[in-house]
Amino acid sequence: EKLAESYFKSFELPVTTDGTVKEVKILSGDIRDAQARKCLMETIGKWQFARTAGAKEVKAVLTLKM
């Protein structure tokens, strides 16, 4: 059975050249609970990625099934 689209939340994460998340943007899927939204955004914002090649900022897209 296919899950309803509302179970999926997509985020855009601009990642700086040193691998830190610059900001977290919700692309799709509303998170109505303000505390849950704040916690999720803060947690994702603390993630650390590998340094980017070519000294360029990159955008990652993350989709979670919730």
pLDDT digits (tens, 9 = 90+) for 10-22: 999 999 999 999 9
pLDDT digits (tens, 9 = 90+) for 28-53: 887 888 898 899 999 999 999 988 77
Q: For residue 9, what pLDDT is reported?
A: 87
Biggest alpha carbon distance in the chain?
43
Provide the β-strand partners of residue 26.
11
Q: In what order do the strands lie in the sheet with 8-15?
A: 25-28, 8-15, 58-65
Where residue 4 falls among pLDDT bands split at 50, 70, 90?
low
DSSP-derived 3-state class of residue 17: coil
Gap between the Cα atoms of 46 and 66, Å rounded: 20
* pLDDT higher than 50, residue 59: yes
* pLDDT higher than 60, residue 1: no
